[in-house]
Amino acid sequence: MILQAENVSWFIHEHPVVDCASLYVLEGECVGLIGPNGCGKSSLLRMLYRAVPPDTGEVQLHGRNIWKIKSRSFAQQTAVLAQEMTLPFDCSVREAVSMGRFPHQTTWLRDSSDDHAHVRTSLEQVGAWELVDRRLATLSGGERQRVWLARALAQQPQLLFLDEPTNHLDIRHQLNLMARVRELSKTTLVVLHDLNLAAQFCTRLYLMNKGRLVTEGAPEHVLTPENLRSVYGVNALVDQHPITQRVRVSYWH
């Protein structure tokens, strides 16, 4: 087991944004965290990647409390693609991806040949090597998202956290990005709004509502008409996609 959270909660003004959530991620899994807007998905993810400490409970990475792991070591084992990735300055794609090598470097050394090799490999893995000399400011949303993913991969993480990685992307880029994530076979915990993307690319899902995890399991066990009606308040038809054979969700009002 790579990641485990036990009864973690986070309060804002005594209001539970995340309420006693427990989950786990096994090696090689792509686990999806789904639920309606404002249910606490991103807040839970932030506790898991150590952006904020939980008010109750504990998060463990490889059996160790994440807050007892040195920051450098934690960054060597995990990487994050947040909803809004920005830098306070413009730079080249090469420079942006090279920042993912910081946890593996000593402060007095320049980028090594090994660092350069990881930057190239990471960009090639996301199909963005041809962008290496471009400035970030000149990239489209889809291109920029691939670069941020490459930066995360350059950290050589054992566990990848993705918070709405398909935000602001068109359908083709959504599919391409999620397909690349799965092809990399990285252990991944991803927050998604699109239930069909979650069904197609995730091995297991956690469904969240009003700060609580209400159910978990394989997509076909979580994405049921009853669950979707209860949590999202919508009518849904759930069947099997004729090509992918994965669960497919259709809605009506």
Residue whose C-alpha is closest to residue 204's, from 185, 223, 186: 223
100 part of a folded domain? no
134 part of a folded domain? no
Q: Residue 115 and residue 8: Cα distance in Å, rounded?
A: 36
- The amino acid at residue 133 is D
28 part of a folded domain? yes
pLDDT in the model for residue 110? 67
List alpha helices for 155-235, DSSP H: 171-183, 195-201, 219-222, 225-232
pLDDT in the model for residue 199? 97
114 part of a folded domain? no
103 part of a folded domain? no
Please give the model's pTM, rounded to 2 decimal places: 0.93
Please give the angle made by the CA atoms of 33, 12 and 194, to the nearest 5 degrees.
Answer: 20
Find where tokens 């066990």 sit: 221
Question: In terms of residue numbers, what domain contains 223?
Answer: 3-85+157-252
- CA distances (Å), 52 to each of 5, 6, 10, 34, 48, in order? 14, 16, 9, 20, 8
Strand pairing report for 30-34 and 159-163 = unpaired
pLDDT in the model for residue 142? 85
Token representation of residue 52: 């904020």
pLDDT tens, residue order, the chain (253 aa):
899 999 999 999 889 999 999 999 999 999 999 999 999 999 999 999 999 999 999 999 999 999 999 999 999 999 999 987 777 778 999 999 999 998 888 766 667 888 899 999 999 988 899 999 999 999 988 888 899 999 999 999 999 999 999 887 889 888 988 998 888 889 999 999 999 999 999 999 999 999 999 999 999 999 999 999 999 999 999 999 999 999 999 998 7
131 part of a folded domain? no
Q: Is 150 exposed, middle or buried (CB count within 10 Å of its CB: 0-12, 13-18, 19+)?
A: buried
We report the CATH number of the domain holding residue 185 as 3.40.50.300
96 part of a folded domain? no
Q: Residue 134 and residue 144: Cα distance in Å, rounded?
A: 11
8 part of a folded domain? yes
The total of structural domains in the chain comes to 1
Q: Residue 2 and residue 131: Cα distance in Å, rounded?
A: 33
pLDDT in the model for residue 68? 97
